[in-house]
Structures are given as structure tokens and as C-alpha cells.
Homo-oligomer: A and B are copies of this chain.
Amino acid sequence: MDQALVLSIDAMGGDFGPAVTVEGVALALAASARPLRFILHGDQALLDSEIARRPALAGRVAVRHTDTVISGDTKPAQALRRGKGTSLWNAVEAVKAGEAKAAISGGNTGALMAISKLQLRMAGGLDRPAIVASWPTLRGFTAVLDVGANIDCDAAQLVEFAIMGAAFFRAVHAGSADYSPRVGVLNVGSEDMKGHQEVRDAHQILKDAGLDFDYRGFVEGNDIAMGAVDVIVTDGFTGNVALKTGEGMARFFGQTLRSALSETWMTKLGALIASRALKSLKARLDPSSVNGGPLLGLNGTVVKSHGSADAKGFANAIRVAADLAASSYAVEIARDMERLSRAKAEPAVPPQAVEV
């Protein structure tokens, strides 16, 4: 046996099932500098036939048969009661059992969240999982969290998101284990008194707690795409709206540009000549390059792939899972949670209280 990193795949999840998940596995395997092995959960016959068509997968994948799946409209509570033995459940269970280092699924988000939380439990001191999104910016990527797992968030949760987001960014985007991510809290202005109580309280804690990242204070919506910071912290309602607003804007630009360029034969000619530039722009806005939203805060790595992701996108979700699983992000989170509880026990003397 080699020292390969083992990943557990819900091969039936996503809008396209095995055709996309198995091709995604093949792409991820080909692109990875790290040796990888896979456990694929799903229909044996279907998976065997997809695997047989890709010789590079030989000896790298094992199939665990199941003929049940969780459908897209299953509620989280139903998924917990009746989800046992499905491809999604088994994919997460393999992480719990220690057979795999991470699970990847393109299935039902609420079900994945509930089943992962039940099986893996929250890591020490953390309250609830958060979903993090990687946002393409002028400078690279910005991690935005939470983007939908937690609708109402208090200050303590926002602080946890900062800790988890910084560790995520370091593992997946920083390119160096020593990098100190720049973290901001999303607000409607940059002054201390702006925004609602939760963001102001989180801001105060983050300024004083001495955590292992570079806290930059409040940021605004326009800072996201500018890449003003590496990690942007917000509640799941605002984060989900911001993320989808950005997706809508990307589609709006794409369609507006396309229709502007096809107005006359002259503009069509220009577009043809500049096609290399337009292709590089398209690649820059390609959702597959950012696919893969980890559920942070669990004892184990679980990554959600977008249901409509193609094989390239699914491969990217696998890459994110492998980077996280191979990193020390769990240790870093635990260390910052420890710092946080020490800071709470011995609050810093507020500077304005010191008189000479």
C-alpha cells in the first residue's frame, strides 16, 4: 500500500451522477501532485462501467455498492431518519470510520449538513458548521463564510467563522503554511459604530483576542470582488445573498457582453480577433474554478460540490478536500479556539480605562 490520501466520494450525488463524479475523480487524480485513492459510494454496475472506461483509475478506486440515494427535496430531518445506507450517508460514514480523510458530495446540502454533523460532530468548542465559498477576485480568491448554513448568527459564531475561514484560506489558497490571512467582517460601513449589534460585538472580540490571523476590521460588499482581504465573515443569510448576487451579476455581464459583441458583423469580427482575451475572461469567471464549499467546524473534512457542477468542477471540489485533509487546519482552529477562551477568561484592559 502506498501513502495515498484516501477520499470518499458520494458518486450518485449531483445533477448528473456517476458520469460526472467518476470523470471528476479521474481529472482530480491526473492533476494531483499528491498520491490519491478513492472510495466510490453508489450503484456498483453503473460505477464499474464508468470506471472501466478510464484505465488510469485502475487500482486507485474501490466501489462500495448501495442502491439508495437521498433526493434533492428530502428535508434534513427526513434525511437523518431515513438516510442510512444511502451513497451520501456512506460517504460521510467512511470518514467517521477512519477509512477516508475527506468526503465529497454534490447531493442535497441540508442533508449533507445534518448527516455530517450527526456522524462527525463539531470539533472542540465550535457551535455549528459553516459553509465557505471561494470567490474569484482581482487578486486571486477570497473566502466568504457563512454562505447559507446559519441564517441567524450571534457574535460568537461570527468569531468562529473568522477562525475557521483563516485556517481554510491558509490550507487551500495561501500557498504557504506561514501566511497570516487578512480577515474582515462584512458590514455597511467601516466605522466602529456601523451595523447591528452582532457584527459590532464580533468586531470588538476580534480586535482584542490576539488570534492567529491579520484582523483588518469591517469591510463592505464592494471589497469582496476587489480582494481587499482574504477572508470575509458574515451571517449565512447575508453571505448567501451576496454570493448569489455575485453569480447573477456574472451571468448579467456575460450575456450583456455576448449580445453587445454580436450586434453587427464589425463587432463580431472584433470579437473573433480578440477571442483569446474573451476566452481568458471566460475562464476567469468559470464557476468550476471555485467549486467546492467545505463544511467547516466538524471532526473531519466534508466538501459540498455544486449540484450542477461539471466534471472539472467536481475535480476542483476533490482538490479542495485533499488540500484541507492534508493540512493542519483542524489543529490551527483548535489553537485559536483555545486562545479565544483564554482571552475571555482574562480580558485585556481596555485602553481608555488607563489613566496616568
Spell out A's residues near B (CB within 8 Å). Answer: 137-138, 148, 151-152, 186, 188, 195-196, 220-226, 234, 236-238, 240-253, 255-257, 260-261, 263-264, 266-267, 269-278, 280-281, 284-285
Contact = CB atoms under 8 A, between A and B. Distances in A.
Contacts of A221: 240-248
Contacts of A256: 138, 281, 284-285
Contacts of A242: 221, 241-242, 245
B236 A188 contact: yes
A264 B285 CA distance: 20
A285 B252 CA distance: 10
Contacts of A271: 270, 274, 277
Given A138-B256, A238-B238, A256-B281, A276 B264 contact: yes
Nearest to A186: B241
B274 A270 contact: yes
Given A242-B221, A249-B249, A266 B276 contact: yes
Secondary structure type dominating chain A contacts: helix
Nearest to A240: B188
Nearest to A253: B253
A238 B152 CA distance: 13
Contact of A237 (B238, B263, B276): B238
B245 A222 contact: yes
Given A225-B245, A253-B253, 20 more contacts: A138-B252, A138-B256, A151-B195, A186-B241, A188-B240, A221-B242, A221-B244, A222-B244, A223-B248, A226-B252, A234-B241, A238-B238, A241-B242, A245-B249, A257-B257, A260-B280, A264-B276, A264-B277, A267-B277, A270-B272
B220 A137 contact: no
Going nearest first, the 3 A-B pairs with the smallest beta carbon separation are: A270-B274, A221-B244, A270-B273
A279 to B, nearest CB: 9
A115 B243 CA distance: 35
Contacts of A255: 138
A98 B281 CA distance: 53
A196 B148 CA distance: 12
A140 to B, nearest CB: 12
A274 B267 contact: yes
